[in-house]
Amino acid sequence: MATIQTSMRLDEKQFSEAKEILSHLGLNFTEAVNIFTNMVVLNRGLPFDVKIPNQETVAILKDIRKGEGLEEITLDDLKKDSSTK
């Protein structure tokens, strides 16, 4: 299979966070982009739903962007919560 080299403009912080998450999954960024590209071809579109959010979701997203209504939670909190179910 022939390959090409391309470039992208990405938000630096998001890129760094994505690379860290992907490394925990055993992937590098290029491998993840290749998986995404293959899924676009396979699905003949984006491999997830893209929808216009309803008003409630829009309001919540605005609050999040302003840093309002957020609750700090740790991984330990999540583990405790899932073990009680």
What would the DSSP string read from start to end of 29-60? HHHHHHHHHHHHHHHTS-SS---PPPHHHHHH
Q: Residue 75: inside a domain, yes or no? A: yes
Nearest Cα to Cα of residue 36 among 51, 22, 23: 22
Q: What is the DSSP letter of 68?
A: -
How would you classify residue 9: left for phi > 0, otherwise alpha for psi between -120 and 50, otherwise beta? beta
Q: Residue 76: inside a domain, yes or no? A: yes
Q: Residue 7: inside a domain, yes or no? A: no
pLDDT (mean) for 60-80: 88
Q: Which pLDDT band, with edges at 50, 70 and 90, does 79 fall under? A: confident
pLDDT at 85: 61
pLDDT at 80: 84
- Total domains in the chain come to 1
Q: Residue 46: inside a domain, yes or no? A: yes
Q: Containing domain of residue 48, as a range?
A: 12-83
pLDDT, tens digit (0-9, with 9 covering 90-100), for 7-26: 999 999 999 999 999 999 99
pLDDT at 36: 97
Helix 12-24 crosses helix 29-43 at what angle (to 10 degrees)?
A: 90
